[in-house]
Structure 1
Amino acid sequence: MERRTALPIFLAALIAGASYYASHWTSLPPAAHAVWKGSGVGLLALWAATQARSTDGWLIAAALALGATGDVLLETHGLTVGAIAFLAGHVVASFLYLRNREKPRWQAGLIAVAVTALSWWLPADRSAAPGIALYAAGLGAMFGTAAVSRFSPFTVGNGAALFVFSDLLIFARLGPLATSELPGLLIWPTYFAGQALIAWGVVSALARERRA
Structure 2
Amino acid sequence: MPKRALYEKRPWLLASIAVALAFYYLRAGPMPELYLLPLKGAAVGLLAIYAFMRHSSADARLLVWVMAFGALGDMVLMIDMEVAGWLFFGGHLLAMALYLRHRPAHLTRSRKIVAVALLLVTPLMCWLLPADRGVASSFGLYGLAMGGMAAAAWASDFPRYRVGAGAVLFVISHCLWIAGMGPLSGSMAQDIFVWPVYYLGQFLICTGVIQTLRKRRPELRVVH
| TM-score where L is the length of structure 1 | 0.91
Gaps of 5+ in 2: 1-5, 220-224
CA offsets 1:114-167 (integer angstroms, 9 cap, x no match): 100111111111111001011111110110000000011111111111110000
- Does the Cα contact within 8 Å between 1:112 and 1:140 map onto a contact in 2? yes
Following the alignment from structure 2 to structure 1, what is the Cα–Cα distance between the partners of residues 116 and 94?
A: 16
Secondary structure in 1 aligned to 2:27?
A: helix
Following the alignment from structure 1 to structure 2, what is the Cα–Cα distance between the partners of residues 31 and 79?
A: 14
Q: Which residue of 2 aligns with 1:192?
A: 199
What is the CA RMSD across the aligned residues, in angstroms?
A: 2.0
Offset, 1:181: 1.0
Aligned match for 1:79, one of 78, 81, 99: 81
Following the alignment from structure 2 to structure 1, what is the Cα–Cα distance between the partners of residues 13 and 217?
A: 19
* Equivalent AA in structure 2 for residue 100 of structure 1: H
Following the alignment from structure 1 to structure 2, what is the Cα–Cα distance between the partners of residues 184 and 122?
A: 17
Offset, 1:7: 1.0
Following the alignment from structure 2 to structure 1, what is the Cα–Cα distance between the partners of residues 180 and 70?
A: 21
CA offsets 1:87-110 (integer angstroms, 9 cap, x no match): 111110011001101255965444
More helix by share: 1
Query: Which deviates more, 97-106 or 127-136?
Result: 97-106
Following the alignment from structure 2 to structure 1, what is the Cα–Cα distance between the partners of residues 44 and 76?
A: 13
| TM-score where L is the length of structure 2 | 0.86
Following the alignment from structure 1 to structure 2, what is the Cα–Cα distance between the partners of residues 32 and 173?
A: 22
Aligned match for 2:214, one of 196, 207, 211: 207
Q: Which residue of 2 aligns with 1:175?
A: 182
Secondary structure in 2 aligned to 1:25?
A: coil
Q: Which residue of 2 aligns with 1:33?
A: 36
- C-alpha change, 1:166 and 1:200, in structure 2 (3 Å) is same
Residues 66-105 of structure 1 aligned to structure 2 (within 5 Å): 66-75=69-78, 77-102=79-104
Gaps of 5+ in 1: none
| Matched positions, count | 208
Q: Which residue of 2 aligns with 1:13?
A: 16
* Equivalent AA in structure 1 for residue 124 of structure 2: A
Aligned match for 1:22, one of 25, 32, 37: 25
Offset, 1:168: 0.5
* Equivalent AA in structure 1 for residue 90 of structure 2: A
Offset, 1:188: 0.3
Structure 1: 4+ residue segments shifted above 4 A: 103-107
- Does the Cα contact within 8 Å between 1:6 and 1:47 map onto a contact in 2? no
Q: Percent identity?
A: 35
- Does the Cα contact within 8 Å between 2:112 and 2:155 map onto a contact in 1? no
Offset, 1:81: 0.8
